[in-house]
Chain A
Amino acid sequence: MTPIAPTFFFYFLAFLAVVSAIAVITRRNPVHAALSLIVTLLSLAGLYLMLYAPFVAAVQIVLYAGGIMVLFLFVIMLVNLEKNIREYQWNKQWIVGTLAAVVLGGLLLFVMRRGYDIFPTTFAGLPETQNTQQVGIWLYGNYMLPFEIASLLLLVAIVGAVVMAKKRI
């Protein structure tokens, strides 16, 4: 089954993602920035669906928009930002930083434009109905060791976060 009106949905979701990403880095209030970041994450989940990756899209919504953003909002509430909101929000090297980032973006576009010919023109035959099963088989087959290392990383992160945020150990 091919996606319906992919051109319209791609430009719509891309526009939404870029506009709310710009809002993330320009808003003064971190709560507004976090809410804009949620819009970016949701539109990226839509783009993953258009790329035949429903499992990654679901993980994006559940883990990113559901879990990580709640963590961010929680910390914004914990940290008292009343004073910070009234301060100047940009640091001293913002001109140089913006210039460097724009140059980096131009370089990326140049490389993509030049290197586009070496991409294969045909799509890999991804199974459309068994994406989640295939991802599970890959995760517990070829990627067994990285999978276990990732679980270890999460354990270390939990311990680290508790140690950092605790008042007295």
Chain B
Amino acid sequence: MAEITTLHYLVLAAALFMIGTIGVLTRRNVIIILMSIELILNAVNLNLVAFSRLYGLHGQIFAIFVITDAAAEAAVGLGIIIAFFRNKETVNVDEIDLLRW
């Protein structure tokens, strides 16, 4: 069995990043889009932790900061969804066009 190198982790992170990007670009449900953003942030975290094995603890510290940002982003994003659903009764992004001219 071949040894697991950093490249394996990077390829896995790239795959997760790609899946998250596809989710953001193709889905209409804004809750699923937020979940896809979480997938992207997790792919970045996996990169950071994989590199921290090579370069020291900095990557893990940054991963913790990314998790903090993800929590803040989820809280504000979901608050916006609730406020919007109260006004327009929809969660589809292509019907959310209040700011479109």
Contacts and interface: CB of A to CB of B under 8 A. Distances in A.
Interface in A84-135: 84, 87-94, 96-98, 100-102, 104-105, 108-109, 112, 116, 119-120, 123-124, 126, 131, 134-135
B26 A135 contact: no
B83 A51 contact: no
What is the interface of chain A mostly: helix, strand, loop, or mixed? Answer: helix
Given A25-B36, A79-B82, A84 B49 contact: no
A17 B9 CA distance: 12
B2 A60 contact: no
Interface residues on A, range: 35 or more
Contacts of A55: 60, 64
Interface string A134-168: 11001100010010001001101110111111010
B12 A18 contact: yes
B74 A154 contact: no
Contacts, number: 237
Interface residues of B, number: 74
A97 B25 contact: yes
Given A40-B42, A98-B22, A124 B53 contact: yes
A105 B14 contact: yes
A76 B29 CA distance: 11
Contact of B71 (A7, A37, A44, A63): A63
Interface in B1-29: 1-4, 6-12, 14-23, 25-29
Given A7-B4, A53-B52, A101 B25 contact: yes
Contact of A154 (B19, B34, B68): B68
Interface of A: 6-8, 10, 14, 17-18, 21-22, 24-25, 30, 33-34, 37, 40-41, 44, 47-48, 50-53, 55-56, 59-60, 63-64, 67-68, 71-72, 75-76, 78-81, 84, 87-94, 96-98, 100-102, 104-105, 108-109, 112, 116, 119-120, 123-124, 126, 131, 134-135, 138-139, 143, 146, 150, 153-154, 156-158, 160-165, 167
Given A25-B22, A157-B76, 15 more contacts: A21-B15, A44-B45, A51-B52, A53-B52, A56-B49, A56-B60, A68-B74, A79-B91, A120-B54, A126-B53, A156-B72, A157-B73, A157-B75, A161-B76, A162-B79
